[in-house]
Amino acid sequence: MTPNIAIVHVAIPHWGTIKAWLPLFLLWIPAILLSPLIFLVILAVCLAGRISPWRTIASFWALSCALPGTDVRVSTEGNKVLVRIL
Amino acid sequence: MNENRRQILEMLAAGKITADEAERLIAALEDQPKPGNGSAGQEIQPKGKPKYLRVLVEADESMTGNKGLTTVNVRVPMQLLRAGVRLASLIPAQAHQQLDDALNRHGVPLTLSQIKPENLEELIDHLEDLTVDVDGKDGNATKVRVFCE
């Protein structure tokens, strides 16, 4: 399943906190609208690099589908960053 | 009370074994793995396949130069690693030689063209058994843990 939502929390002392839920599923709309263009770009790049465009699409699709569950938290000097992909 | 334990105590009461022997037998019983809730003699279920690779880092000021403790907590799905290593198959053939040379220069004697998808699967499978624990010493509070869960 492709990622649906990304949760981003950024906390910086004396500045503030950002808590954002990014609806990644909305990216499907521009992706579908621009799909002919995206396909042509992928095809051109793959032909230039002499690699299979189907394999390229399959690899990036697998990468995209594997993203949910990723969780990165970093904190230092009171600064905190959290990125979760659901 | 456990049936085996009762038998040992009965043998001790009957004078068939000494108190030391009874103690050793009971200790041996306790060392045996306990059966689960299922029927006796049921095989232990294999541990489920890990789903995530975790990297935990705690570094103190002496390590990072930043004030206070710096922590990094990363959880990466194993599927993402599998998909990531498959990207290596997208490297154009003409770039393989350049990459091999660069890796050799940095002390990594690896030939990318010899890596097959089945090797990568094997690599990820073995990664599931990986556990790395690094603790700083002499007052250095740096800790690194890499494991699968």
Nearest CA in chain B to A48: B92
Tokens of B132: 């790395």
Report the predicted TM-score, pTM, of the whole model to 2 decimal places: 0.64
Q: Does the beta-carbon distance from B90 to A68 stay under 8 Å? A: no
Tell me the chain A residues in contact with residue B51 when contact means C-beta distances shorter than 8 Å.
69
Closest CB to A70 among B67, B75, B87 = B75
Nearest 5 degrees, angle CA B47-CA B48-CA B52? 120
Cβ–Cβ contact B33 with A under 8 A? no
- Whose CA is closest to B84, among B117, B49, B113, B50? B117
pLDDT digits (tens, 9 = 90+) for B115-126: 776 776 777 777
For residue B82, what is the DSSP state?
H
Nearest CA in chain B to A1: B79
Tell me the chain A residues in contact with residue B70 when contact means C-beta distances shorter than 8 Å.
74-77
What does the pLDDT read at residue B43? Answer: 46
- Whose CA is closest to B70, among A9, A82, A10, A80? A80
% chain A with pLDDT above 70? 100
Q: Does the beta-carbon distance from A73 to B84 stay under 8 Å? A: no
List all residues 6 or more positions away from B57 whose beta carbon is below 8 Å from its beta carbon: B70, B71, B72, B73, B142, B143, B144, B145
Beta bridge partners of A22: A6
Lowest mean pLDDT of A20-24, B42-46, B130-134, name the range.
B42-46
Confidence category of residue A44, pLDDT binned at 50, 70, 90: very high
Closest CB to A49 among B71, B89, B92 = B92
List all residues 6 or more positions away from B65 whose beta carbon is below 8 Å from its beta carbon: none
Average pLDDT over residues B3-15: 76
What phi and psi, each to the nearest 5 degrees, are found at residue B77? -65, 140
- Do B68 and B44 meet the contact criterion of CB atoms below 8 Å apart? no
Could you give the angle at which helices A35-49 and A53-65 cross, rounded to 10 degrees?
A: 120
Is the pLDDT at B134 greater than 90? The verdict is no
pLDDT digits (tens, 9 = 90+) for B15-71: 777 777 777 777 777 766 555 444 444 445 455 777 888 999 888 777 767 777 889
Chain B nearest-CA distance from A33, in A, is 26
Is the pLDDT at A6 greater than 90? The verdict is yes
What does the pLDDT read at residue B38? Answer: 44
How far is the C-alpha of B59 from the C-alpha of B143, rounded, in Å? 6
The one-letter code for the residue type at A2 is T
Lowest mean pLDDT of A33-37, B58-62, B82-86, B88-92, name the range.
B88-92
